[in-house]
A and B are shown apart, each in its own frame.
Chain A
Amino acid sequence: MRCAFAAAALSAVAAAACAAAFLEHARELSVTIGDLETPALSARAVSLKFSGTGFRALTLDIDRVSMAGRDWRKVRLTCPDFIAAGERITCSQGVLHLDGQIPVSFTYTTGSGDFTVELKPDADETWRIAGRIAGGKTTLQVKLDQARLTRLASWLPPSESKITAGRASGTIDVQGTGVTAHLQIDDVAFADTGGLHAGEKIGGTLNVEAAQKGADWRWSLSAEWRRGEVFWQPFFLAATGQRLRVQGASSGANTSFRDGVLELQGIGTIDFNAQLNHSKAELETLQVRSSRLRVPALYEQVLKPLLQQTSLSDLRTEGEATVALTVAAASIASVDLELHDVSLEDQQQRRFALYGANGRIPWRREAASAGEFVFKSAEFLKVPIGGVRIPFRLRSNGVGVTSVRVPILDGALQLRDFAAGTTDDGWRWRFTGELEPISMVQLTRAMGMPEMHGSLSGVIPEVRYRRQTLAMDGTLVVGVFDGMVRASKVEFIEPFGRAPRFHADIDMKALDLELLTRTFDFGTITGRLDARVSGLELVDWQPVRFDARLESSDGNYPKRISQRAVQNISALGGAGAAAAIQRSFLRFFDQFGYQKIGLSCHLNNAVCEMDGVERAPQGYVIVKGGGIPAISVIGYNRYVSWRELVERLKRITQENVKPIVK
């Protein structure tokens, strides 16, 4: 026996419990309700079936349920112990067939509109919803116990990132138009398709209060992040108990954030206000101001993962910094950075260090400003640098410094008219300056090089950097080994690239050979040396091409060469390039006189074409004897592989080979 009841469009779910005519002797009772429409929910082709003893077995079939933009098809609720007694309907052992079978129990009182629904999709998972359906006074309390967040994934607004795991426990209260939620979440994972925004094992607490006023929502939120980690290109952050508090208002068009406070444990706090435009998905305005942030924690937790594979990836840091930033019309309008006794040290390699830095860097997009940067001391390539005060002018795309003196050891580098800026083809900068004499002994000692005598000084003509090329106009003059070194046509291409190229002409005049040879442990030569290296080209600091000529300077001065230096020069000439040394002669003297020394190398294609002072039968004269006792060294190899030559030099100067006199 069938009983059909059709209702085209009932106004509320409650109406589903409407009258159903049945006959006492029937075994099965079917009620076709048809379609249900409410503002929040619609159900198509709803039908009820009562069967079993006393019609206590309920089967509810709905062809399609639509709620909050989501559809389910062929939804079925079965309930073997359905009781409808007076106003009260109960079902304690129901099963909801919806993406699997979910145990469900519910009660409903028709008079008061009170209801409870409890879903247990998994053994340890409960969704309990209790409330009263009463129009504008509808109340709802949702209690979650280990609720799987993935079940909510399709309810969330579409976005790049998807929740792939996670549980929530806690309560959500709805009172009229107000919502209060206290949730604890755990093991949350989310990721976008490219993996550039992702989080894993996230745990923490979330408290939200929200109320609807007209079309707008006003809300406040507080959250604490206790576990897990997040990668948000390019940042990687791990939970340390960070806390966020913020209030706001959301409408369809935008969301404003007020009185936001982000507490970063161990680092400091950041206050913010912002306005987000939903349709453009951009921040229209933002004001951020930090407290004094502790630099070591900021570096370890936030900056270090960003700086992998750079020279800043292994720093020991100290000090505090404050940052303020504003965004207006969706672009950065100002940045203010203040440093308070900040120190940085390259830990392992010790390439650089900066101690006691203080400063104020106020950048404005629309205006020029003045700032200052001061540090107590520094170190670069192990060379100590003294305290410096740098006043500077900032423009939107550049910086200028009129004059700054950088003390280096006992001298200083004086920089003038420094200007830097960005253009379409990258960074550009320029400066002029001069070097106040720096002791070469101290400098070479600090850099761990063979100790050299003399001093480094000179005028630095204009130095320019643009299109990844550093170029110097004019001549850099360095006083070293009691002589002068002049470098001109200096050009440095891609100095910060993988294979920097260096071009220059270098002219050395009257270097003291005794200082020079003593420095490089070459044996002793007394006298003066001129050297000219033209067309020098270094790639990755390896010589590729040059035309070099070393020659004893003209003039009258003592010209002596030690036995060891003779041996070394001969060795440099290569095997078979035996010096025209009267070997028996050598034995008796430590020192010899010479008239001229000269050696040239034209390097091309990794081969050095060598020559000397003058030609000799089958060779060239490197040392031309003079005085008593005189000695000459003749080279026979005209073409020597550059690598071989460098090896020989290394053997001579580094391994400190003792000359063997036969």
Chain B
Amino acid sequence: MLHLTWLRVAVFTILLGATALAAAQANLEINTPAVAAIQKSMQDRHAQLLPLYSSGAVGLTRDGGVALRDANAVPLAQRAQVNALIAAESQDRAALYREIARANARPEWESDIRATFAQRWIDKAQPGWYYQNAGGAWVRK
């Protein structure tokens, strides 16, 4: 019954592998050229976003992005630019989660990484900033 023995070994190995996998944690601080490039781009934009977070014009979304909450807080002439800033920031954040998942060699972890980051951004937000709660409603921190 060589076959059966082999099968047992194989199943055992797979189970062991799966356990090891479940125990594994994504390294969110991983640094690769791609992650560095995205972080640099986000840092360069942060100074422009800061007053928008403070005024409540832009808030942190529950899926780890940013969104326009109340454009009335922004002078008319700058509203188009706020849209562009939000689009660029959202694109960078999505790319960041994808790259961290890739760098961990676990592309399928992207949505978990996104969720973890969403909570991190909210935890790190300054008092007065707005974020979306689990139901999607805006909450002032």
Contact = CB atoms under 8 A, between A and B. Distances in A.
A497 B71 contact: no
Interface in B48-66: 57
B37 A310 contact: no
B95 A310 contact: no
Contacts of A540: 33-34, 36-37
A429 interface: no
Interface in A502-549: 539-540, 542, 544
Interface in A290-312: 305-306, 308-310
A263 to B, nearest CB: 22
A194 B76 contact: no
Given A309-B84, A498-B92, A539-B32, A231 B38 contact: no
Residue in B32, B85, B91, B95 whose Cβ sees the most chain A Cβ within 10 Å: B32
Contact of B71 (A194, A199, A305, A309): A194
B88 A539 contact: no
A233 B83 CA distance: 9
B76 A230 contact: yes
B71 A198 contact: yes
A196 B95 contact: no
A305 B38 contact: no
Interface residues of A, number: 29
A501 interface: yes
Contact of B80 (A195, A199, A306): A306
A234 B38 CA distance: 26
A340 B33 CA distance: 44
A252 to B, nearest CB: 33
A169 to B, nearest CB: 24
A499 B37 contact: yes
A509 B84 CA distance: 47
B71 A196 contact: yes
Contacts of A199: 76
A106 B33 CA distance: 79
A498 B79 contact: no
A130 interface: no
A200 B37 contact: no
B70 to A, nearest CB: 6
Contacts of A200: 76
A444 B64 CA distance: 43
A229 interface: yes
B32 A497 contact: no
B115 interface: no
A494 B87 CA distance: 17
Interface string A196-213: 101110000000000000
A499 B99 contact: yes
A539 B38 CA distance: 11
Interface string B24-48: 0000000011111110010000000
A75 B122 CA distance: 51
A191 interface: yes
A198 B76 contact: yes
Contacts of B125: none
Nearest to B91: A498
A308 B79 contact: no
B22 interface: no
B68 A309 contact: no
A234 B36 CA distance: 31
A234 B83 CA distance: 8
B71 to A, nearest CB: 3
B107 to A, nearest CB: 12
A98 to B, nearest CB: 29
A236 interface: yes
B38 A542 contact: no
Nearest to A305: B80
3 closest A-B pairs by CB: A195-B71, A195-B72, A499-B34
Given A196-B68, A229-B76, 10 more contacts: A195-B68, A195-B72, A198-B76, A231-B71, A231-B76, A234-B83, A309-B87, A498-B37, A498-B95, A499-B37
23 contacts: A195-B57, A195-B71, A196-B79, A198-B71, A198-B79, A229-B76, A231-B76, A233-B79, A236-B80, A305-B77, A305-B80, A305-B81, A306-B80, A498-B37, A498-B91, A498-B95, A499-B95, A539-B33, A540-B34, A540-B36, A542-B37, A544-B32, A544-B33
